[in-house]
Chain A
């Protein structure tokens, strides 16, 4: 049973599966029910501490906390003590002193949640740290894959785009390897980190090869500022060589699903025809995000698996 959720590097296959099983139940019995209110986290205090801009992840965590009956509050870096130069450790100790049970943290620095976990007693959930991990995003991806494909074991998952800067890609790699999937990555050579192949994944610069025969095709968001840093010459060329369009998606299995962590740069990493096409599960990913976050929050705050209501 997980105590904190720092990353999928630190989480066993068994714990990942437990979270996914709980998330499935919470979806059926809570999120899709007539009454989206539970008291699982009644009396618990949950704070989202976001040092980076975010809309969907933060709202998703907030909704998950509230559906479970927690007292939830937000703190963001602008307009707070952080702007006055308070250190991360002092900030989280302050939040802990309010008898908070769970701190959900997003930070631009890799390893920030690990640092925090060493210094406070309350439970820590990583909502994205630098280029390191975004574990709940990967968990919601896995939940969606299981819903559409049954078992993750044996699936071929192609992840396309800016792998180097992507915490979503890293969490997916660590988790999918543990769950027995085949992971294939592709992107421009300037956006593939060194020795990626040592992680037991296949790496291509030819997207066609990566997508061929895949069960899951996942596009990664490209930050357009990367172009100015010289990592790729133009958005146009990026889209031509590394964007996923109808033709490329057709190289995957006929029943392959198309995923993206959002927000999508339409016409850059994915073309509009497939974003809105029948293979896209992008909106279901968002729904499942609330479910895995409810499962994680219940597990870390209560220290037990989700029990269905009598």
Chain B
């Protein structure tokens, strides 16, 4: 089985490619990248006028299986990934029960393979049951296939335990993907503390609830080593703390999510629970800081924090509503529209943040279109504006604040291991 992708503009930052080239895929592998390939293939894809890039790698998704299949499962989540051009996802372990043992790691990986629409990878928990009390068997988690550890959704409360986690996970070369948050400072808040929380009479979460916890974790990692990866950074001071530590040579990485560079707290007006997430949407100054952090390399990756919830968990009183939005179907469009169109990042930098760098953070041989690599490829259009339509999402739920928004950067085709797993038909 072979596919020839003809005439597309190939963007492959790992190989410094940013030009019009053809790509020949044979038996699941990238066989050839070059100008005007005229070899015969079983299928020829006309990619003229389109961008051809390594499939996107999303370090932060919630596929909810096992336990919360009414929100999402590995099949619907994988379909959403394919539709969004995402060929590798990293699942967060806050399922029910949480993925804190090797059997569950294997279960998630096996289900992902059975479905076969995206590479499903998973983290395991940092602490047993995400209880912030005792470390998990991280060696066993790694042997079973976990690519990192995380208590996502909850912080590791005790700083000494965080220290041990970094030291212990570091021994197995596992990144600690930290949801850094000071719950005392959160103090029951449900949105960013700022003008909007005052205006709406909602309890606010101060930005220092995030920046204090990130500073803590960064300083611990700097001193004891290990591989700290900070999840979903959203405030200027958080980014500054990471930037300064990186300048000092600390071995840390971080990610942000598309909503932190595309929306502010103003989206909450009218008690919009589809604009409720954790960390909460911040202010324009923070959005600017996130974009600066992406541009100067402080922020390594863009990950969606794809977090489906059932309607009954969102269409309720704001403070009762659960945190999170779905993101897989919109991440490329939001990145292209908010970062590349206004000239904040080049397209190559965007692909770096959405594919090459995430691959490096979890140390997988992906995020590239190099010859001999597995053929995970996204083909997308950047010319035509399209309107986000949540009714077309593949995710089981469509808790999303972008419905009706006009974006550029729409996925036309997703190829996974040489197989077409998504093709746009409208």
Chain A interface (Cβ within 8 Å of chain B)?
A: 9, 87-89, 107, 109-112, 114-115, 129-133, 167, 170, 193-196, 198-199
Q: A87-B312, A110-B318 are in contact. Are A195 and B195 (CB under 8 A)?
A: yes
Q: Annotate B187-212 by CB proximity to A: 1 below 8 A, 0 otherwise.
A: 00000011101111111100000000
Q: A89-B315, A130-B202, A133-B201 are in contact. Are A110 and B194 (CB under 8 A)?
A: no
Whether, in the assembled complex, B107 has its beta carbon less than 8 Å from a beta carbon of chain A, the answer is no
Beyond known contacts A88-B317, A111-B202, A194-B195: 5 more, CB 8 A cutoff: A9-B199, A114-B271, A130-B201, A131-B202, A195-B194
B201: chain A residues at CB < 8 Å are 110, 129-133, 167, 170
Task: Give Cα A167 to B198, complex, Å.
Answer: 10
| 16 A-B residue pairs with CB within 8 Å | A87-B316, A107-B317, A110-B271, A111-B318, A115-B317, A130-B319, A131-B201, A131-B202, A132-B201, A132-B202, A167-B201, A193-B197, A194-B193, A194-B197, A194-B204, A195-B198
Q: Annotate B254-295 by CB proximity to A: 1 below 8 A, 0 otherwise.
A: 000000000000000011000000000000000000000000
CB < 8 Å: which of B198, B200, B204, B312 contacts A111? B200
Residue of A nearest to B203 (CB): A131
Residue of A nearest to B272 (CB): A111
B316 and A199 contact, CB distance less than 8 A: no
Q: Annotate B127-139 by CB proximity to A: 1 below 8 A, 0 otherwise.
A: 0000000000000
Expressed in whole angstroms, the minimum distance between the Cβ of A254 and any Cβ of chain B is: 33
- Pairs of residues from A and B, 9 with the lowest C-beta to C-beta distance, nearest first: A111-B271, A132-B201, A131-B201, A109-B317, A193-B198, A195-B195, A110-B201, A111-B318, A109-B319
Whether, in the assembled complex, B70 has its beta carbon less than 8 Å from a beta carbon of chain A, the answer is no
B271 and A89 contact, CB distance less than 8 A: no
Expressed in whole angstroms, the minimum distance between the Cβ of A120 and any Cβ of chain B is: 13
B270 and A114 contact, CB distance less than 8 A: yes
B198 and A89 contact, CB distance less than 8 A: no
Q: A107-B317, A109-B318, A109-B320 are in contact. Are A115 and B271 (CB under 8 A)?
A: yes
Find the residue from A111, A132, A195, A198 having the highest chain B CB count within 10 A.
A111
CB < 8 Å: which of A107, A110, A198 contacts B202? A110
Task: Give Cα A88 to B203, complex, Å.
Answer: 20
Chain B binding surface SS class: loop
Residue of B nearest to A164 (CB): B198
Task: Give Cα A247 to B60, complex, Å.
Answer: 60
A170: chain B residues at CB < 8 Å are 201
Q: Annotate B291-335 by CB proximity to A: 1 below 8 A, 0 otherwise.
A: 000000000000000000000100111111000000000000000
Residue of B nearest to A51 (CB): B317
Task: Give Cα A87 to B204, complex, Å.
Answer: 24
Expressed in whole angstroms, the minimum distance between the Cβ of A258 and any Cβ of chain B is: 25
Expressed in whole angstroms, the minimum distance between the Cβ of B344 and any Cβ of chain A is: 27
CB < 8 Å: which of A111, A193, A194 contacts B317? A111
CB < 8 Å: which of A109, A131, A194 contacts B194? A194
Residue of B nearest to A87 (CB): B316
B202: chain A residues at CB < 8 Å are 110-111, 130-132
Count of residues in B whose CB is under 8 Å from the partner chain? 20
Expressed in whole angstroms, the minimum distance between the Cβ of B149 and any Cβ of chain A is: 35
How many residue pairs between the two chains, A and B, have CB atoms under 8 Å in the bound complex? 61
B316: chain A residues at CB < 8 Å are 87-89, 115
Q: Annotate B17-28 by CB proximity to A: 1 below 8 A, 0 otherwise.
A: 000000000000
A193: chain B residues at CB < 8 Å are 197-198, 204
Task: Give Cα A131 to B318, complex, Å.
Answer: 12
Within 8 A of A (CB), among B158-216: 193-195, 197-204
Task: Give Cα A114 to B101, complex, Å.
Answer: 44
B270: chain A residues at CB < 8 Å are 114
Expressed in whole angstroms, the minimum distance between the Cβ of B260 and any Cβ of chain A is: 20
A196: chain B residues at CB < 8 Å are 198
B312: chain A residues at CB < 8 Å are 87
B315 and A110 contact, CB distance less than 8 A: no
A194: chain B residues at CB < 8 Å are 193-195, 197-198, 204
Residue of A nearest to B271 (CB): A111
Expressed in whole angstroms, the minimum distance between the Cβ of A98 and any Cβ of chain B is: 22
Task: Give Cα A109 to B320, complex, Å.
Answer: 8
B199 and A199 contact, CB distance less than 8 A: yes
Find the residue from B194, B202, B317, B318 having the highest chain A CB count within 10 A.
B317
A132: chain B residues at CB < 8 Å are 200-202
B319: chain A residues at CB < 8 Å are 109-110, 130
Find the residue from B197, B201, B203, B270 having the highest chain A CB count within 10 A.
B201
A198 and B318 contact, CB distance less than 8 A: no
A115: chain B residues at CB < 8 Å are 271, 315-318
A133: chain B residues at CB < 8 Å are 201
Task: Give Cα A271 to B198, complex, Å.
Answer: 28
Task: Give Cα A131 to B204, complex, Å.
Answer: 11
Residue of B nearest to A129 (CB): B201
Residue of A nearest to B317 (CB): A109
Residue of A nearest to B206 (CB): A194
Task: Give Cα A114 to B270, complex, Å.
Answer: 8
A112 and B195 contact, CB distance less than 8 A: no
Expressed in whole angstroms, the minimum distance between the Cβ of A6 and any Cβ of chain B is: 10
A195: chain B residues at CB < 8 Å are 194-195, 198
Task: Give Cα A194 to B208, complex, Å.
Answer: 14
B193: chain A residues at CB < 8 Å are 194
Expressed in whole angstroms, the minimum distance between the Cβ of A4 and any Cβ of chain B is: 14
Expressed in whole angstroms, the minimum distance between the Cβ of A184 and any Cβ of chain B is: 16
Residue of B nearest to A131 (CB): B201
Expressed in whole angstroms, the minimum distance between the Cβ of A83 and any Cβ of chain B is: 16
Task: Give Cα A112 to B198, complex, Å.
Answer: 17
Q: A109-B317, A110-B271 are in contact. Are A198 and B195 (CB under 8 A)?
A: yes
Task: Give Cα A168 to B287, complex, Å.
Answer: 33
Q: A115-B317, A194-B193 are in contact. Are A110 and B198 (CB under 8 A)?
A: no
Task: Give Cα A162 to B116, complex, Å.
Answer: 57
Expressed in whole angstroms, the minimum distance between the Cβ of A175 and any Cβ of chain B is: 14
Task: Give Cα A129 to B271, complex, Å.
Answer: 12
A107: chain B residues at CB < 8 Å are 317
B204: chain A residues at CB < 8 Å are 193-194
B194: chain A residues at CB < 8 Å are 194-195
Task: Give Cα A87 to B311, complex, Å.
Answer: 12
Residue of B nearest to A174 (CB): B199
A114: chain B residues at CB < 8 Å are 270-271
Task: Give Cα A94 to B392, complex, Å.
Answer: 32
B317: chain A residues at CB < 8 Å are 88, 107, 109, 111-112, 115
A167: chain B residues at CB < 8 Å are 201
